[in-house]
Amino acid sequence: MPKGYWVSVYPAISDPEALTAYVDLAGPAVRAAGGRTLSRGARVVAHESGITERVVLVEFDTFEQAVAAYETEAYQKALLTLPTAFQRDFRIIEAIT
């Protein structure tokens, strides 16, 4: 089965403390659901229409696991911090087998 990945790009962070609150909730929720953070806020080189803001890449053993992790009660609780703290472009993608 192909792996699944969460890809998050943060075009604007208006409240870094709220981002920390989100990470404090989301990190354990993602790990409990089997996610492994591969990159978080590392160096970014943007080309074309890209931006150099924070990028996060999380790997799951399967695409289905990645989708299910988003729906967990723990992660949904973490999402409550999103609307006012920052903007995020989020995708769940399937790896090429």
Q: How far apart are CA 89 and CA 69, in angstroms?
A: 17
User: Which of 71, 2, 62, 74 shows the shortest CA–CA distance to 31?
Assistant: 74
CA 39 to chain centre: 10
What was the pLDDT predicted at 61? 98
Query: For the segment 51-70, what is each residue's pLDDT rounded down to a tens digit?
Result: 888 899 999 999 999 999 99
Q: How far apart are CA 56 and CA 7, in angstroms?
A: 6
Instruction: Show the domains of the chain with their CATH numbers.
Output: 4-94 (3.30.70.100)
Query: For the segment 37-48, what is each residue's pLDDT rounded down to a tens digit?
Result: 999 977 888 899
User: Which of 88, 90, 86, 70 shows the shortest CA–CA distance to 19?
Assistant: 86
- Claim: this prediction has a pTM higher than 0.85: yes
Helices (H) and strands (E) in the chain, counts: 4, 4
